[in-house]
Chain A
Amino acid sequence: MHKGFWMALVWTLGCVSGAAAQQPEVKKDLMTSITTQFGWSTLELNDAYLSDLRYSGYGMQFNNTTRRFLGTGNTRFSQRTDVTINAGVAMNQPQSASISYVGGNVGYGLQAHFKPLRNLQLFVGGQMDAELGIKGYSRDVNNAGNLDLATNLNLAATIRYDLPVWKSTLRLQADFQTPLLGLMFVPVRGESYSEIYYLHSYDNLFHLTSLHNKNGLNARYLVQIPLKHSVLNVGLHTEYLKYAANNMVFRRNITSFQVGATYDLVLFGGRKHPAPAGFISSEW
């Protein structure tokens, strides 16, 4: 009885291993998921360097997010990049002056993936970003504009829920970032940019930031609708940012209604990662 059992086990293992040895090795490639969004925005600015008044207006937003796992053998962590560009014009309430705003933010981060429930994914991690914004003020009295310049370490979290609807699956996604630590440039109130530039007056321009002087919440809510050849995104992006330095308080609130698409790319290139034989390139 025992002998028969062992013979059957050895035969089974031999068959399985033989079958496995005959299968061709499947080469894995990492895909990069890209979400590109365009939006129409409302804009609220408080810039105490330029004026004590709040400015409100409209603008446009472009956002591009890429995400991919760290490696083919590591699907617990993903890396993401974000590029956001805002442009808009805001006016004070009496409509007597305007601020033109153009700003960009680039970020890179890592997030750990969790699946606490069926259809639910949770990504948590950090992100470093760099930000540059230029404000042009229509009332130029030696303060024709101001710069927003900062770098932040953000806490970043993403929640995804795949909602089965009839023959398809809608993906609901909420993405949050909040600044924890960083460095920012804020000019001294009463010191013009010409004074900074010509007199090399650099005191009190750069400030370490943490939760005591900079608060923000950058939230993006997306509904991803799978179509025949692509994934359509409809969403809302809200940014609430408030920071204080040099006896001034600044605020930037942007709400953007967005549409866009999500698509996947596999990137080939170089000697170590050439395109497989089935791929035809116009370059190589």
Chain B
Amino acid sequence: MVKRFKLLLFLVLILPSCVEDPVTYPNTWQGNFDALWNTIDQRYCYLDYKQINWDSIHVVYQNRLSTVSNETTFFDLMGQMLSELKDGHVNLYSDFDVSRYWNWFQDYPSNFQAEILYSPRYLGSNYRIAGGMRYGKIDGGNIGYIYYGDFTSTFSNSNLKYIFNELSDCQGLILDVRDNGGGYLTAAETLASSFFSARTLTGYMAHKTGNGHSAFSKPIALYTEKSDSLHWSKPVVVLTNRLAFSATNAFVSRMKYAPNATIVGDRTGGGGGLPLSNELPNGWLVRFSACPMFDAAMQHIEWGVEPNVKVDMRSADALAGYDTIIERAIALLRGL
């Protein structure tokens, strides 16, 4: 009896050492740098795809760590290191600043001017609003127009039903998602499904299964379902620019496979990785792309989706109050 009791006591005391403790880093410049570098090294999903030598970047920024004198300079240095990823989904959040990489749209023409959109030629001031969508008829009532600028501003099936009913006598629809920086992927899927007549394979997604740069799961097929209650069967033109990012990028990628859909404008801004986050010992938060998304041909959409018809806004048109991209969409829908 005593022997058994001793054995039990031994097991209870010894066994808790079998699982290793979580890795922790000290709250020092070096500790925070190591935590950040390792988070990206183990969990960022595009190091191989973008051919980034993250080990070299460690050497470069480790050497520059000695120049850090205060929190601000340390933050700036870490922000610069993250900019090497060239990813709009990568940010470092502190209480005093948010690091960002914006070259993905700042290096390109904006291709969108809100004041022209709300001029009498287009939406004017008497447009209707349903959910996050602003809509009306343009081109003398022949073309329906929806501006949707934020996928976090959600909509319901009822919203879409009223919009489609209102625009049902139009010969075509323009769905403008320029300057839409993204939001909910589910909203992107729901909206896209309104334009599909059958369940269609529109992409893939993978997630990391280990710390290695190439440790990914088998890609999971992403289908766009046909909406049971709503269907826009007439031609639709989707307007894009570089600020169409993240969930909008995913929406446009789906719409490329929709029947009767044409993508017009500039290449979207990308943001093909579903972002997740981690924290540093000092409490800062790093957001990063964790799960890569692909189109139906298994091509990355991280760098954006090419339009079917590439159009840039002309400054002469803008000065005259014309939106070159909308005008091209109208011409396409008229069959010109």
Contacts and interface: CB of A to CB of B under 8 A. Distances in A.
Our verdict on whether A and B bind, yes or no, reads yes
Nearest to A245: B19
Contact of A52 (B16, B210, B220, B278): B278
A189 B19 contact: no
B156 interface: no
A92 B283 contact: yes
Given A95-B283, A195-B291, A141 B275 contact: yes
A22 interface: no
A204 B217 CA distance: 10
A163 B24 CA distance: 45
Nearest to B217: A203
Contacts of B16: 215-217, 240, 242
Contacts of A155: 8, 11
Interface string B14-56: 0111111111110100000001000100010100000000000
A192 B290 CA distance: 9
A116 B1 contact: yes
B285 interface: yes
Nearest to B93: A139
Contact of B20 (A143, A217, A240, A244): A244
B15 A247 contact: no
Interface in B274-291: 274-279, 281-285, 287, 290-291
Interface string B193-237: 000000000000101111100000110101000000000000000
A235 B157 CA distance: 56
B222 to A, nearest CB: 7
Contacts of B22: 46, 48, 52, 54, 249-251
Contacts of A48: 22
Contacts of A249: 19-23
Given A52-B279, A142-B275, A242 B19 contact: yes
A122 B210 CA distance: 46
A48 B21 CA distance: 11
Given A97-B285, A190-B290, A243 B19 contact: yes
Interface residues of B, number: 49
A253 to B, nearest CB: 11
Interface in B71-85: none
B209 A143 contact: no
Given A191-B207, A194-B186, A195-B291, A141 B19 contact: no
A80 B209 CA distance: 41
A2 interface: no
Contacts of A194: 185-186
A201 B39 CA distance: 24
B279 A51 contact: yes
Contact of B287 (A124, A141, A204, A212): A141
A96 B283 contact: yes
A179 B282 CA distance: 34
Contacts of B23: 52, 249
A194 to B, nearest CB: 7
Nearest to A213: B19
B188 to A, nearest CB: 12
B133 to A, nearest CB: 23
A10 B160 CA distance: 100
Contact of A96 (B15, B95, B274): B95
A142 B95 contact: no
Nearest to A52: B278
B285 A192 contact: no
Contact of A141 (B207, B222, B277): B277
Contact of B283 (A93, A215, A247): A93
Contacts of B95: 96
16 contacts: A51-B278, A52-B22, A53-B281, A92-B283, A96-B283, A116-B1, A188-B207, A188-B208, A190-B290, A190-B291, A191-B217, A192-B274, A201-B220, A214-B19, A247-B210, A249-B23
Given A122-B5, A139-B279, A190-B290, 4 more contacts: A96-B283, A96-B285, A199-B205, A212-B18
